[in-house]
Amino acid sequence: GNSVTQMEGPVTLSEEAFLTINCTYTATGYPSLFWYVQYPGEGLQLLLKATKADDKGSNKGFEATYRKETTSFHLEKGSVQVSDSAVYFCALSGANAGNMLTFGGGTRLMVKP
Least distance in angstroms from the C-beta of 7 to other proteins: 14
Q: CB–CB of 48/63 below 8 Å?
A: yes
According to DSSP, the residues that pair with 93 across neighbouring strands are 32, 101
Q: CB–CB of 105/3 below 8 Å?
A: no
Cα 102 to chain centroid, rounded: 12
Least distance in angstroms from the C-beta of 56 to other proteins: 16
Of 17 and 24, nearer to other proteins (C-beta) is 24
Of 6 and 74, nearer to other proteins (C-beta) is 6
End-to-end, the C-alpha distance of the chain in Å comes to 41
Least distance in angstroms from the C-beta of 101 to other proteins: 6
Task: Report the distance separating Cα 46 and Cα 58, nearest Å.
Answer: 11
Of 32 and 80, nearer to other proteins (C-beta) is 32
Which residues form the interface with other proteins (CB under 8 A)?
Answer: 32, 34, 36, 42-46, 49, 51, 89, 91, 93, 95-106
